[in-house]
Amino acid sequence: MKRGKLGRRGRIFRNFLLAGVLGALIWTCAGWPVPARWELRRLEREAFLSPHSQFQGSVQVDQREWLVGLTPRWLVMGRQNEFRLWPREGDGPVLAPIPEWATAGREICVVAAGAPQGTASAQLTVEVSHWYASFGGSSSYSSQREDILRSWPWPDSSPEYRSETVTLEGEPMEEGAFQFVLGEEEMRGTGDYIWRHVEEWGLYQGYYQISPINCRLTAVFYDESGRELDRAELQNAEAWER
């Protein structure tokens, strides 16, 4: 029985297919990076996340790339050997910090996804506050004044209330997402020990019995005319009264 010969179009298709398979094999063996969307899908498959997220873009933190996705239930963040899920309430915008402190550039990145249709710009307000006291050659801080007063030895003076407010402009990502970068210039004059808590997910999820600081993040989304469309807020549970 004679085998049918491939026509010209068949041979072209076969050659393209073989070239694609060979190219993928060479790419993998060489250890070259895959597109960010593919890498996020791989992380989601390994975590058995279903349905897959809608890719929102990537964020560079300390020369490491964090991939961001959005599902009806989760804000998805992942990088090599790490996968995180931040809960999303309802179908409105969601806000969360990238869970990593950039030691080299002293930066904190916050992502807002699920912005309303028609969003042209976004702005983030970061409010932090704490009580501070010195103890001889050392110091202490807490979100609650009483926490410091219970310390031993006694503070040298009455605890001092400190607060900082920073406003950041959003950098568009994809699919209506924005990233906000809190850099060294915005943190100038205040110790790293305060700002580093901003990126801790545990601060907002009740990890601490008494939070080290109070922190409130508020993202506001605007249309081209500057009209507010929606907002998302994230803060720890402690009261803000002094």
Domain layout of the chain by residue ranges = 35-235
Q: Which residues contact 50 (CB under 8 A, 6 or more apart)?
A: none
**What secondary structure letter does DSSP report for 161?**
E
Do residues 180 and 97 touch, judged by C-beta distance below 8 A? no
Strand order in the sheet with 74-79: 54-61, 64-70, 74-79, 82-87
> Is the pLDDT score of 123 beyond 90?
yes
Listed range (27-36, 178-187, 189-198) with the worst mean pLDDT: 27-36
Mean per-residue pLDDT, 102-111? 76
Question: Which of 154 and 219 is assigned the larger pLDDT?
Answer: 219
Of residues 130, 107, 186, the one with CA closest to residue 139: 130
Does residue 22 surpass a pLDDT of 60?
Answer: no
In angstroms, what CA-CA distances link 62 with 98, 107, 166, 236?
Answer: 11, 8, 21, 26
In the predicted model, is pLDDT for residue 48 greater than 80?
Answer: no
Global pTM value: 0.77
Q: Please check whether residue 130 is in contact with residue 194, taking contact to mean a CB–CB distance below 8 angstroms.
A: yes
SS3 of residue 12 by DSSP: helix
- pLDDT in the model for residue 84: 86
- Residue-wise pLDDT for 200-234, tens only, equals 999 998 888 889 999 999 999 999 999 999 999 99
